[in-house]
Structure 1
Amino acid sequence: MDKLKAMHTFVEIARAGSLTGAARRLGSSLPSVVRRLAELEGELGVRLFNRTTRKISLTREGGHYLEHCQAILSSIDEAESSLAAEQATPSGQLRVTAPVLFGQYYVAPAVTGFLQRYDQVRCQLSLNDRNIDLLEDQVDVGVRIGHLPDSTLIAHRVGEVRRVVVAAPAFLEKQGIPSHPRDLLRGNAVHVLSRWTPWTFREGEHVFTVSVTGNFDCNQIAPAIGACLSGLGFGMFLSYQVAHHVREGRLRILLADFEQPPRPVSVVYPHARRLPVRTRLFVDWIREALTSAGLDHRELGRSQAP
């Protein structure tokens, strides 16, 4: 059995969601796909898919094996592509997506630098706070914030961000500094995305919510941060969105001991046997740029005096 070919077949079955779809993607016959899967499961001694007459889905063991197969095949692709990159000048269309504010702060400058370095590449950067389907929308590379659902995307973690409560010093002088999330109920809050959903906190192993209220609700992050800067009320944002305001003393992070666990920041792209040179180079470029940006923010605001 050709183990790499069997692993590639397994990954394509997972991506296509069917044996027939995988055969079509691979340009192979259905019996060949079925045989390779059976040989792989036989050698591993586990069932990789649950199969019925109507659908096919990964088993728990299959999900774990998929992650390893993707990593192995990606490493092979990287080795082959790096050799090709040394012989080729990247060109053509590159499509990239990222969250709006994160894209403005970090991704757009990295894209600009990449295009200055490789001027035969054209880039379409789409900033959207909704996670779009990279395969369906034909996007080459995405930046995601948060834990990723099981998928066939290749993901490289480049940092993490916290969800923090902040307020302006002038507001805290009048309102007082909260010592527990329930104290937020006594003050005005600024909310984002037009839904007054409760704010979530953690105390030890206990996760709980606080139903904050306020007189300003905005569907964009930047104006909501501006309202907090002006002293209108408390706000809850991701740490990268307010980091420079915190460092310069215009906002203070509150209730750090009650924060939820940090959220990962990842560079993601669809699995492919041979990524175009432009995509491979950009993945390396954006990973380096975001890793160098220091996105963990673990100590941000924690040294402030109460």
Structure 2
Amino acid sequence: MDKFKAMQTFVQIADEGSLTAAARQMGSSLPAVVRALAAYEAALGVRLFNRTTRRISLTEEGKLHLENSRQVLAALEESEASLTAGATEPAGHLTITAPVLFGQMHVAPCVTRFVQQHDKMRCSLVLLDRVVNLLEEGIDLGIRIGTLEDSSLVSQPLGHIRRVVVATPAYLRKHGTPKHPRDLQRFNCIRNLSPAQQQWGDFQESGRTFRVAVKGNLEFNHVLPAVQACAAGAGFGMFFSYQVAPYLATRQLKIVLESFERPARPISIVYPHARLLPARTRVFIDWIRNDLTAFRQGPLNTTSRAA
């Protein structure tokens, strides 16, 4: 048995989520993939997948072996890549995750430009507003906003974003401009439906942070319609700076209460196994760091405040 080939088949099945999809992706037949998996499990003496007629899922042993297999295959690819560094184009499949709106606005266009430049690459972008366990969910890279809590991941900075309070100039002329965050209690504020968002945080005064209870006649469970309502003059909104950047650029929205903002939050690209990165992963990291330059300069970070 070719153990490296069997290991590659095992990882492909885990990545694709089905034997049929793995066979298609590998250009093999379904019976051949089934036989290869059965032989590999027999050689290891453990069952790697739980299989039914409708689904396939990793066993606990399979989850452990998947992580080890990724390291082994990445090390082999790294060794091969070091012999031909710069001589070949990156090739293969990358799965990337990012927050939904940030991914739609910035990561998706970046990924599109990447595959247009490197036609041997295939990328899957998974947009989720939750923290994803990269290892458990078979994801190569993640874009994270905020302080990183998972010390098992390696991170590289992409820039910073601010949390800002905004309103239209027309709304400010009609209703006035708050001088202190607590003044927001007298205005109409566009809120998130989440109970946790009934108070606005990210305010700071004399080194202390605080929250303000706000109220209003509009609530949304997604950011985009809230931004659009704010830009239509419906009231004040609190958003990440990238979410309102187009409206700030055209002066449809104006930032208020800047002196009470907390320090900007980092944007990072995170991944496991710093020393065992495939060439395609390294190339993409360099690509996105060069591509997302807006978050290291201009009104999206702390170095320049938007008017």
Superposition TM-score, scaled by structure 2 size: 0.69
Once the two structures are TM-superposed, the CA of residue 85 in structure 1 deviates from its matched residue by 3.8
Question: Bigger CA drift: 86-95 or 226-235?
Answer: 86-95
Deviation per residue, 1:179-217 (Å, 9 max, x gap) = 000110001110125334311210021211100111111
Question: What's the counterpart of residue 259 of structure 1?
Answer: 261
CA–CA separation in structure 2 for the residues paired with 1:85 and 1:216: 55
Question: What's the counterpart of residue 140 of structure 1?
Answer: 140
CA–CA separation in structure 1 for the residues paired with 2:265 and 2:147: 7
Contact 2:192 2:198 (C-alpha < 8 Å) held by counterparts? no
Contact 2:191 2:237 (C-alpha < 8 Å) held by counterparts? yes
Contact 1:166 1:253 (C-alpha < 8 Å) held by counterparts? yes
Once the two structures are TM-superposed, the CA of residue 247 in structure 1 deviates from its matched residue by 2.0
Residue 297 (1) aligns with residue 301 (2): yes
Distance 1:84 1:191, change over 3 A: farther
Once the two structures are TM-superposed, the CA of residue 140 in structure 1 deviates from its matched residue by 0.7
Given residue 142 of structure 1, which amino acid in structure 2 is its aligned partner? Answer: G
Residue 173 (1) aligns with residue 177 (2): no
Residue 197 (1) aligns with residue 198 (2): yes
Deviation per residue, 1:202-259 (Å, 9 max, x gap) = 0021211100111111111110000001111110000111122112110010000001
Question: What's the counterpart of residue 131 of structure 2?
Answer: 131
Question: What's the counterpart of residue 238 of structure 2?
Answer: 236
Given residue 255 of structure 1, which amino acid in structure 2 is its aligned partner? Answer: L
SS of the equivalent of 1:274 reads coil
Question: Bigger CA drift: 101-110 or 283-292?
Answer: 283-292
Question: What's the counterpart of residue 53 of structure 2?
Answer: none
CA–CA separation in structure 2 for the residues paired with 1:78 and 1:211: 53
Given residue 190 of structure 1, which amino acid in structure 2 is its aligned partner? Answer: I
CA–CA separation in structure 1 for the residues paired with 2:279 and 2:220: 41
Once the two structures are TM-superposed, the CA of residue 282 in structure 1 deviates from its matched residue by 0.8
Contact 2:146 2:266 (C-alpha < 8 Å) held by counterparts? yes
Once the two structures are TM-superposed, the CA of residue 273 in structure 1 deviates from its matched residue by 3.8
List aligned pairs for 1:66-81, cutoff 5 A: none
List runs of 5+ in structure 1 lacking aligned partners.
1-20, 27-76
List runs of 5+ in structure 2 lacking aligned partners.
1-63, 70-76
Question: What's the counterpart of residue 157 of structure 1?
Answer: 157
Distance 1:199 1:79, change over 3 A: farther
How high is the sequence identity, in percent, across the aligned residues?
Answer: 50
List aligned pairs for 1:14-93, cutoff 5 A: 25=68, 84-93=84-93
Once the two structures are TM-superposed, the CA of residue 81 in structure 1 deviates from its matched residue by 5.2
CA–CA separation in structure 1 for the residues paired with 2:68 and 2:194: 42
Once the two structures are TM-superposed, the CA of residue 82 in structure 1 deviates from its matched residue by 6.2
